[in-house]
Amino acid sequence: MGRSPHARPGQLSFQLRKIEPTQDGLRIDLLLQNGTTRYYRALMLRVVTHGPKGESLSVRLPTGGIHPSQDRLVSAHFPRLGHPLMDVTLELIWATE
């Protein structure tokens, strides 16, 4: 799933909104963007953090529905990373229409 400042026509995409330390780790806020004409009842996403030496840590992020041409704010919670944060990627595991 690609990162984009605006919804991409015909695709699911995302924006990285906020990265905030918490008492027990890190919270990453993402804006999901549905540029398709489909209503997705549920999505399962994988949020992956990347470090400078190839380190990574991922969490699964179940989300509710997202309507066509709509955006939805979601948050992923990570334990302490153990590596500097260089990038965040988002992968679609499955979607239910």
Please name every residue paired with 79 in a beta bridge, in sequence order, or none if there are none. Answer: 25
Q: What is the structure's pLDDT at 31?
A: 96
Domain ranges for the chain, please list them. Answer: 2-96
Single-letter amino acid, residue 15:
Q
Nearest to 74 by CA among 83, 65, 82: 65
Instruction: Tell me the pLDDT tens digit for each residue of 26-77.
Output: 999 999 999 999 999 999 999 999 999 999 999 999 999 999 999 999 999 9
pTM here? Answer: 0.90
**For residue 47, how far is the Cα from the chain centroid?**
5
Identify the CATH number of the domain defined by range 2-96: 2.60.40.1620
**For residue 42, how far is the Cα from the chain centroid?**
14
Report whether pLDDT(91) > 80.
yes
